[in-house]
Structure 1
Amino acid sequence: MSRLYSLAQRYTLWYKFRLIKKIAKPGSRLLDYGCGVGQFMQYMESNKYQVRGVEPSEVGLSKAMSKQLSVYRNLASVKEAEAKFEVITLWHVLEHVHELNVTIKQLKKLLSKSGYLVVAVPNTKSWDAQHYKENWAAYDVPRHLFHFDDENIKMLLKSNRLSFVKKAPLYLDSFYISLLSETHVNSSNKIMKSTINGCKSNIYGARTSQYSSMIYIFQKK
């Protein structure tokens, strides 16, 4: 399991990099909001991006800084110290944010002209959400304060004058979320069932564009 997790993590980092590279070339300035311990930051730095991070958790902040990464505790600190960013990323962060509109406005101010906001969130219209219902792990109450689908996230960002550009799936999330959901229902053969249901979710996503987790790219007007 440890080896599989490591492979999945490496693939996901490469996948995110490949997506970012299509909208901002190496050398661009990137801010990772909710950067955790800084793995994505490290990967993007190794690919020649100028990277900064924000992490409010003391544990994550400490670990990221121990890797010699430029990480701030809050957005106010970034505003005081940094210029504009071509890309700002939020990988499974927006659902944790207490004041959505306030935070989005703050992030937008840090974007350069025509800069991009990249947001990844679980999708309540996915097959696994419908299958597991109240046991769907991505509801994650009370840590997840908001839940998103195509319609409401586009409305939220549009109301903050950010234009929708495109969306992309996070294919591996269906397997991880299904595994956690199987744990919630005290299932036997959790790995087998989560693998099957992860595949079902991705097949459904291929037909409907409603994957377990979605990446949305918005652009500053």
Structure 2
Amino acid sequence: MKLYLKSKDFTLSGETFQLLYDSKRDMLITDPQPKDLSKYYESDEYISHTDSAVSLLDKVYQFVKQLNLRSKLSLINSNSCGDKSLLDIGAGTGDFLAFSKTKGWKVVGVEPNKRAQNKAAEKGVDLKDNLKALPEQHFDVITLWHVLEHLPDLDKQIAEMVSLLKDNGTLIVAVPNYKSFDAGFYKNFWAAFDVPRHLWHFSRKSIPIVFDKHGMKVVKTKPMIFDAFYVSLLSEKYRTGKQHFFRAFCVGLYSNIKALWSKEYSSVIYILKRA
């Protein structure tokens, strides 16, 4: 595999990692992939494991998260054809599951981070450490919101989650797109590379290829418009050390406008069904 670029862990360790291009799947692979990934999540700045709203970036993240809750609920409602049983993998602090629970969904979540689990418990959401700790059942909808890129042993874990899906169930996967304009603009400073926590970096072509071997077919895609702005704001901080809000907004806006034609949005949601 050829070297695509090198990027740094801007959140915690400062270590540099390679991104290698896998031409068969049109995706990038973080190299090396640490055997112990848990230590790379031990940071107060890792926002998805906290409910922090101190800095400007925190406040932007929390604002966007709240806006996305209704959008996510609408998406699972429109793709449910069963008993409204929901499994959220990588549930973070449990906001999505807590919100879905109030709307009549029977929710189960997986989140290995203990701090995030404790935050979720305060909201009445019990999260399991891993898929093996789940009750024996199959789910109407399984969601992974910016989680697939974190999972080691990718094919093994996809096989496990597909086995938990009902025959007519829906798998919803949201991931960053390394072929977006903002990714190309910021290059090694692009925040959504987030090495080494992100082990895999997907394109619109790679997701159908990765899931095809597991009998899953992409039936629809949906852009995550707000991601271009948030990722650009964080990328500005990594590149310059400052939060250039206006420039980040312009880059995010241009990325979304350009994607109206190219479809290469900063992040994309994939709705998958059994083939």
TM-score (norm 1): 0.93
Deviations 1:31-77 (A, max 9, x none): 00000110000111111111110001111122212322132111001
| 1:31 alignment counterpart | 87
Aligned partner (choices 123, 129, 133) of residue 73 of structure 1: 129
Q: CA deviation at 1:108?
A: 0.7
- Once residues 243 and 122 of structure 2 are traced to their aligned partners in structure 1, the CA distance between those partners, rounded to angstroms, is 39
| 1:166 alignment counterpart | 220
Q: After superposition, where does 1:1-221 map in structure 2 within 5 Å?
A: 1=56, 5-24=61-80, 28-78=84-134, 81-186=135-240, 190-221=244-275
Instruction: Judge which range, 168-177 or 25-34, deviates more.
Output: 25-34
Secondary structure (helix, strand or coil) at the match of 2:143 reads strand
- Once residues 3 and 135 of structure 1 are traced to their aligned partners in structure 2, the CA distance between those partners, rounded to angstroms, is 21
Q: Does the CA contact (< 8 Å) of 1:33 and 1:53 recur in 2?
A: yes
Q: CA deviation at 1:9?
A: 2.1
Q: CA deviation at 1:26?
A: 8.8
Unaligned runs of 5+ in 2: 1-55
Unaligned runs of 5+ in 1: none
Secondary structure (helix, strand or coil) at the match of 1:150 reads coil
- Once residues 81 and 100 of structure 2 are traced to their aligned partners in structure 1, the CA distance between those partners, rounded to angstroms, is 11
Residues 97 and 3 of structure 1: CA distance in aligned 2, closer, same or farther (over 3 Å)? closer
Residues 202 and 26 of structure 1: CA distance in aligned 2, closer, same or farther (over 3 Å)? farther
Q: CA deviation at 1:190?
A: 0.8
Query: Higher helix share goes to which structure?
Result: 1
- Once residues 53 and 220 of structure 1 are traced to their aligned partners in structure 2, the CA distance between those partners, rounded to angstroms, is 22
Specify the code of the residue in structure 1 equivalent to 2:113. Answer: S
Could you list the runs of 4 or more consecutive aligned residues of structure 1 that deviate by over 4 angstroms after TM superposition? 1-6
Deviations 1:61-119 (A, max 9, x none): 222123221321110011xx231101000000011101111101110111011211110
Deviations 1:171-212 (A, max 9, x none): 100001001110111165610111111100110111111110
Specify the code of the residue in structure 2 equivalent to 1:124. Answer: Y
Number of residue pairs the alignment of both structures matches: 219
TM-score (norm 2): 0.76
- Once residues 243 and 63 of structure 2 are traced to their aligned partners in structure 1, the CA distance between those partners, rounded to angstroms, is 22
Q: Does the CA contact (< 8 Å) of 2:81 and 2:140 recur in 1?
A: no
When the two chains are superposed, the root-mean-square deviation of aligned CA atoms in Å is: 1.7
Residues 26 and 67 of structure 1: CA distance in aligned 2, closer, same or farther (over 3 Å)? farther
Specify the code of the residue in structure 2 equivalent to 1:127. Answer: F
Specify the code of the residue in structure 2 equivalent to 1:190. Answer: H
Specify the code of the residue in structure 2 equivalent to 1:176. Answer: Y
Give % identity: 38
Q: Does the CA contact (< 8 Å) of 1:111 and 1:220 recur in 2?
A: no
- Once residues 177 and 143 of structure 1 are traced to their aligned partners in structure 2, the CA distance between those partners, rounded to angstroms, is 15
